[in-house]
Structure 1
Amino acid sequence: MSKSILVFDSGIGGLTILDEIRQVLPDESYLYLFDNARLPYGELDEIDLIEGCVALIARFVARHDISMVVIACNSASTLVLPSLRTELDIPIVGVVPAIKPAAALSKKKCIGLLATPGTIKRTYTHELITRFAAGCKVELYASSELVLLAEQKAAGYPVTQRQVAAILSPLMNSELDTLVLGCTHFPILKDEMQLYLGNKVLLVDSGKAIAARVISIIEQQAFIAHSSENDKSHSDEVISGDAFYTANEIGEGLKTTLSAFGFTNVVRVE
C-alpha cells in the first residue's frame, strides 16, 4: 500500500488546499487531520499553538504511513514549521498568504490581506509584505468570525449576506482591487464574498501555489513516477480516504462535507 499525503488544518479550511492538490495529483492517497477542538487557531497563544500542533502531528505521523505533511493553515504555518521539521524526517509544506501574486495582479497597486488575527500580527506576514509588496499600499483586515462562518457553511447551515456584510463592511470604503484570502477557510466563502464585494475586487488564495509545491517535492523525492502533462490522465472519481478530528464529536453536516471530498471514514483521534 502506498504512503499517504497528510493534509492538516485547524478545521475544514484545509479542504480547499486538498482540493487544489488533488486536481493535479488525483491518484495519490490522502489523509485529513483537523484540530477542531482548538479552533480557531488565529486566537491561540503562540506557544500553545506550536506545542499542540507539533505534538499532534508528530504522534499522528508515527502511527500512519505518511510521505509528506501539508500544513494547510496560515496561522499554523507561520509558527510551527521550524519545530515540526526537527521532529519529522519527511517533507513538510506550509501555506503563506498570497502576497506576491496579489501585488503582481493589482492594477491600482492597492491590495488587502484578510486573515485571522494571529496571521495578521505575525512578523513573517509583515516580512512577506516588505519583500513582495513594497510598491503597493497594503491594508490589513483581521477576522476570526469568518473562520466560524466557513465552518458553519461546511456543517450544512446557510450563510446569509447579512453575516458576510457584517464582517466585510470595512473593506467597502477601500480602494483595493485585489484581496488576499489569508486563511484556508476563506475560499469556502468565496462566492458569498465575491457577491458582496463585487467584481471590482479580485480574490486571491494560495491553493494552486501549494499544489505546485507538492508536485515539485514529489518529483524531487521520486515518491511517484510523475508523467508529463501531455500523458497525464485525470480521473473524475474521488479517491476515498480517512479524516481525523480532535473535538469530542462532529455533526452530520460536516460529515457530509467530508464525504464529498472522499473522506467516508471520519474518526476521532486521541
Structure 2
Amino acid sequence: MKDSPIGIFDSGVGGTSIWKEIQKLLPKENTLYLADSKNAPYGEKSKEEIVRLSRKNTEFLLQKGCKLIVVACNTATTNAITYLRDNYDVPFIGIEPAIKPAALNSKSRTVGVLATKGTLASSLFHSTSENHAYGIQVLEQEGTGLVELIEKGELRTVKTRSLLKKYLDPMLDKGIDYLVLGCSHYPYLIPLLRELLPEQVRIIDSGEAVARQTKAILLERDLLDSYNGKVKHQFYSNTDKTVLKNLLHNTDAEIEVSYLDF
C-alpha cells in the first residue's frame, strides 16, 4: 500500500491549501483530492448532514484505494471525524483551529478565531478552547459568506474585502494579536487579510501542522512512499473545475483535474 494515494476531501476547493502543504512536505506521495463544492459550505449544515457527506466522501476515496484520509475541512473534522475513525479501518488526519499556539504566544491575552458556524458550534472546538486557552479571551467570529466567495474565485473583490473588514474590526477593537483561521478555505484570503490587519497581528492556519501529522502517521504505519518514479496528483470536483484549476495553476507538481458527477 505504500504507493497508494493519500486521500483528501473538503467541502470544496479550500482544502487545496492543505494539499499544498502536504505535497511540499511529502513530494514523493501520490494524492487524490475530492472537492465537494456542490455541497459547500458544510458550516451551515446539521451535524447529521455533515456526517452523511463525510461518509460519502470517505467511501469514494476508499474505493480509489487511498491509504490514509485527510479531512481537510474544519467543520467535517469537528463534527464527523470521531464517527469516521470508529467506522472505517484507515488512518484519518483531521484539521481544527490552531488555538493552542495562538494562546501560548499571545501577549495581549486576546485572540480571534474566524471560522464557520459548524466549527464554532462543535464540542471539539469548545473542548480545544477550554484545554488550551485558559486565561485567554477567545473572540469567535462566524465567517458567513466567505466560503461561497472563495468557491467563486472572489479572493480580492470589493465584496470580499468589505465582508472581511466587517468581521475583523470588532476583534481588532478588542485588541487581538493573533487571528486563527478556522476554515481550510480561509488561507486563500491571507494576502487580503495582511492588507486589512495591523502588522502586529499574526495569522495562524493549520496547514503545516496537518502535513507534519500526515507524515508522522505514515511513518508510524510504515506507509511512507519511497518510490522515485512519476508522482500522480488527481483532483475531482463535482462543480465547474475552473476555480480549482486556478488555485492550482502555480504549483510545480503535475496535476490532473476531472469533473465528477457526485
1:204-262 Cα deviation digits (max 9, x unpaired):
11111111111110111111267xxxxxx9xxxx955211123xx31534333345454
Is 1:191–2:195 an aligned residue pair? no
For the aligned residue pairs, the C-alpha RMSD in angstroms reads 2.2
Instruction: Report the alpha carbon displacement of residue 163 of structure 1 after superposing the two structures with TM.
Output: 4.3
| 2:157 alignment counterpart | 159
Could you tell me the percent identity over the aligned residues? 31
Which of the numbers 234, 245, 249 marks the counterpart of 1:255?
245
Mapping for residues 119-130 of structure 1, pairs under 5 Å: 119-130=119-130
Aligned to 2:90: 90
Does the 8 Å CA contact 2:114/2:141 hold for their aligned counterparts? Answer: yes
Deviates more, 1:187-196 or 1:143-152: 143-152
Residue 107 (structure 1) shift = 1.2
Question: Which of these residues, 256, 259, 266, is aligned with residue 258 of structure 2?
Answer: 266
Counterpart of 1:16?
17
Where do 5+ consecutive residues of structure 2 fail to align? none
Q: Is the 8 Å Cα contact of residues 4 and 28 (structure 1) preserved in structure 2?
A: yes
Per the alignment, residue 45 of structure 1 pairs with 46
Q: 1:269 to 1:3 in 2, by over 3 A?
A: farther
Separation of aligned partners in 1, 2:261 and 2:84: 19
Determine helix, strand or coil for the equivalent of 1:266: strand
Instruction: Give, in whole Å, the separation in 2 of the partners of 1:169 and 1:14.
Output: 26
Deviation at 1:175, TM superposition (A): 0.8
Query: Aligned residue pairs: how many?
Result: 255
Answer yes or no: is the 8 Å Cα contact 1:108–1:176 preserved in 2: yes
Q: 1:62 to 1:26 in 2, by over 3 A?
A: closer
2:205 aligns with: 205
CA contact (8 A) 2:34 2:57 kept: no
- Structure-2-length-normalised TM-score: 0.89
Q: For residues 96-175 of structure 1, what are the structure 2 equivalents within 5 Å?
A: 96-153=96-153, 158-160=156-158, 161-175=161-175
1:229 corresponds to:
none
Q: Give unmatched runs, 5+ long, in structure 1.
A: 227-232
Contact 1:152/1:159 (8 A) holds in 2: no
**Offset at 1:168?**
2.8
What are the Cα deviations for residues 130-177 of structure 1, in whole angstroms up to 9, with x where unaligned? 100002111111112122232233xx7742333432443332312110
TM-score (norm. length: structure 1): 0.87
* Counterpart for residue 244 of structure 1: 236
CA shift, 1:76, in A, is: 0.4
Corresponding residue for residue 6 of structure 2: 5
Between the aligned partners of 2:162 and 2:97, the Cα distance in structure 1 is: 26
